[in-house]
Amino acid sequence: MFLVGLTGGIASGKSTVSSQLKELGCPVIDADVVAQKVVEFQSPAYKLILQHFGREVLLENGEIDRKKLGQIIFSNPEKRRLLNSITHPLIHKEMFRQILLYFIKGYRYVILDVPLLFETRRLTRFLTHTVVVYCDPATQLSRLMQRDALSHEEAQQRIAAQMPLKEKRGLASHVMENSGSREDTHRQVLRLHTKLEDSMEFLVVRAVAVAAVAGLCGLFLCTVKLLIS
Ligand SMILES: CC(C)(COP(=O)(O)OP(=O)(O)OC[C@H]1O[C@@H](n2cnc3c(N)ncnc32)[C@H](O)[C@@H]1O)[C@@H](O)C(=O)NCCC(=O)NCCS
Ligand SMILES: Nc1ncnc2c1ncn2[C@@H]1O[C@H](COP(=O)(O)OP(=O)(O)OP(=O)(O)O)[C@@H](O)[C@H]1O
């Protein structure tokens, strides 16, 4: 199995692309969904957030007020680093668990939708391809303001909390241009899908895994033989 990283800037269109890939039957692990799971009520991350940010980031029902926490961390880099240090190790651990499940089920590849892929760099060494969903800065700003009902300043602040999208584009092995229509993007998604489906790279990883298991079995048998003789 090989891993494909899907990333981009805030509101550049990652979810739009990953939904289209899911509709085509691709397995996708979404880091934003995993991030929600790790801060569920009374989880270890939930307790740490409560300890460091106080009850002001809780809703009346005790769950995390994501809007409030977002307002805090996007306007304060230190608080953002603190939240990242609480959540990121747990997000990566859960993602590895889900990757393993896909591997056991025999999937040939998995797409990891990770907004901060190039910022954290924790997963990059495991990836065969990296796809950046790009759109021009004016489109990104207006889509973000519209989707999240943010002011110009708030939206700029959120964009500035990430590595510049142009820089991410330079790091990718594959760029998806999402400044145009959804249909335009869908055509590019279809091309990427064909490329992934036709790829034989999963065979390399499978061969390495088989060789490693065979090596371990050989070592085990040699040890048993030595102990008996
Ligand atoms: C701040 C939180 C509570 C806001 O929740 P909300 O439901 O409003 O937004 P959501 O989680 O869907 O994130 C929306 C987008 O914001 C951006 N974003 C989220 N967290 C961060 C961050 N720490 N730094 C920079 N950008 C971020 C990403 O582009 C993400 O796709 C939430 O994003 C969070 O817990 N963030 C910390 C965990 C994290 O880094 N998640 C990103 C995936 S690795
Ligand atoms: N090609 C497009 N044409 C018009 N609107 C689009 C297009 N692509 C995405 N959008 C809209 O732009 C907004 C941002 O897109 P999307 O949610 O897919 O971005 P994202 O990168 O997943 O964002 P985030 O980083 O916040 O998770 C959404 O409201 C979406 O409907």
**pLDDT one-digit tens code per residue, 9-48:** 999 999 999 999 999 999 999 999 999 999 999 999 999 9
Q: Where are the domains of the chain?
A: 2-228
pLDDT given for residue 200 in this prediction: 74
**Interatomic CA distance for residues 162 and 97, integer angstroms:** 26
Ligand 2: distance of its center to the CA of 78 in Å? 27
Instruction: Using the CB atoms, write b or e for 145-167: b if 16+ within 10 Å.
Output: beeeebeeebbeebbebbeebee
Round the average pLDDT of the chain to a whole number and report it: 95
Which of 143, 169, 176, 189 maximizes ligand 2 atoms within 8 Å of its Cβ, making it the mutation to test the pocket? 143
- DSSP letter at 216 equals H
Q: What average pLDDT does the segment 119-125 reach?
A: 93
Residue 115 alpha carbon, nearest atom of ligand 2: 25
Half-sphere exposure of 150 (CA within 13 A, CB side): 22
Q: Is 73 in the pocket of ligand 1 (CB under 6 A)?
A: yes
* Model pLDDT, residue 4: 97
Pick the more confident residue, 228 or 170. 170
Using a cut of 0.80, tell me whether the model's pTM lies above it: yes
Report the top-level CATH class of 2-228: alpha beta
